[in-house]
Structure 1
Amino acid sequence: MSSEAAQRFQRLLDRVAASIRFEIYAVGGAPVAWRSIRKGTLLATNVPDDFRTRYIENREYERDPLIVVLRAASRPVRTADIRAAAEAEPALMPNFVAIGEALGTAVVAVPLRFRGRLGGGVIFRRREPEFTDAEVEYLELVAPALHLAALDLPAAAPTNDLTARERECLAWTSVGKTAWEIGSILGISEHTAVAHLNAAVRKLGAASRAHAVAEALRRGLIE
């Protein structure tokens, strides 16, 4: 990341903060072919590291009603929309409550769609009060600019180095090998291959092995 890119993103974020109070932000990416953004990439966020790591390791995004609603949305998602999704699916309610307590219950999540497909999202949170209609309209206008500026930033997920074996396992996964096949090729057990792959997924802040492969390719960790 160039210092110029970081300064450009921060200036834009500061302008938003000067107009609307928020405590937490997250800018996420999904497939955008011309910029090579992989599905689920976290581009920029100030979510505390410990919360983010736990959220990814425990795959809490699979039970996060905000993510569930955002994936299908074409307009800004607000707290009431997220609460309604949690109430409709009781399994989502614990995460709705826990995430709200940790990061703030007032939410605006702006989906960004490119040619009809979800290309990313920008999320703002605060403790209280709820965002007003005028604030939501403003955030919907600035979200695309924040997302564009964030494309020049490195992923905000944990950046622990991969071991040589983890890189090997990811490289073989990238050409379609299963964990059993990787174990046979490398002379290790299938269980050990799975452990290396899971560690790589965790370290890269990925949502799946496929996502980890994509992220490792993006960072130049494998060829």
Structure 2
Amino acid sequence: MDLAALWDIILGNVSALPQSSLLMATVVAVLAGVFGSMVGRVAPPVGRLLRFGSSLALAGILLMVVLQVSRMDPRFEMAVPQLGLPAQVVEGAETRVPLAPDGHYWLLAEVNGVEARFLVDTGATLTAISANLAAEAGLEARAGALPVRMQTANGSIAAEITAVDELRFGNVVARGLDAVIVPNLGDTNVVGMNMLSRLASWRVEGGTLILVPHHPQPVEASQES
């Protein structure tokens, strides 16, 4: 095979790879390790230093990947919102969410001012946003973050990590909340444990999910009991 053609194929494959800062850092660290092995034959101290730096960089990259992936529980059970879902109400310092006929708890929330329904899922580590809602709310994937592989009822999909400027429901508001943008999710959105853990407390009593924020927010009269 002509070397020029082979080089063009290699360049084409490299350019097709995802442009991730972590990926590029990994490539540089690996090349530094290879170069260190070559230099070590002539200058052992320099070679050892390069190999040590390469190993240290790869360990740091691995740690960053683990931290990103561990923030997402890959087990998602997506439910389709049904018509006539019971509405949440605010009583005193609590937002109370009745159990819906489908056996789930649903919230009417606002993401950056855009209204949407959310399924409360205590088995999900991160809050999940559908691609449609992300587009309406102006959410973008976090630069340099690796996509997260998730297992859904429709198979394995890649989800992008983002940050929600403001998520508001009942008397609860969360700002700068980590979330994932999930394609092929339809209009389903999920409140995960990273949102619930920000509350002062949450519990279920008599079929009602009770959410208590640290700093209750003012609400419209229509939401008060």
TM-score (norm 1): 0.23
Q: Which has the higher Rg, Structure 1 or Structure 2?
A: 2
- Normalising to structure 2: TM-score of the pair? 0.23
Higher relative contact order at CA 8 Å, sep ≥6: structure 1 or structure 2?
1
Higher strand share: 2
